[in-house]
Amino acid sequence: MTDYTIYHNPRCSKSRQTLVLLEENGVAPTIVKYLDDTPDAATLQTLINQLGLEKAHDLVRNKEADYSTAGLTPDSSDKDVIAAMVAYPKLIERPIVVRGQKAVLGRPPENVLSLLGK
């Protein structure tokens, strides 16, 4: 069992780079392909908390077409944003790497080094 999890999109270059960086540092994370295995609302709220984000909107890719489709704005409630991310998982910023109770966004990939104690 690993104590690292990556919410990964194999089509995303930053996500691939982050996974390689973890592997180069001896980490074999649990890989969650979130577009296929979308986190539920409770999991997304936990990730938002672990990332230390002020609001759910901070985890949204607002340039995705689904952002408009979902009717989101910067003022949307956390509940509405999280519901949109569940319905449209492309909206979830990626990659997210979790270790224990901490999480970081792998943008840039080097951000994950803080979870490795580097």
CATH number for the domain that contains residue 83 = 3.40.30.10
The verdict on residue 116 lying in a domain is no
Q: Is 103 a catalytic residue?
A: no
Phi and psi dihedrals of 92, rounded to 5? -75, 125
Domain membership of residue 63 as a residue range? 4-106
The verdict on residue 60 lying in a domain is yes
The verdict on residue 112 lying in a domain is no
Measured at the CA of 53, the angle between CA 50 and CA 59, to 5 degrees, comes to 95
The verdict on residue 36 lying in a domain is yes
**One of 12, 35, 41, 86 is an active-site residue; which one?**
12
- Among 91, 94, 66, residue whose Cα is nearest residue 7: 94
- Count of domains forming the chain: 1
Query: The pTM is what?
Result: 0.94
Written as tens digits, the pLDDT of the chain (118 aa) is: 469 999 999 999 999 999 999 999 999 999 999 999 999 999 999 999 999 999 999 999 999 999 999 999 999 999 999 999 999 999 999 999 999 999 999 999 999 999 988 7
Separation CA 89–CA 29 (nearest Å)? 21
The verdict on residue 115 lying in a domain is no
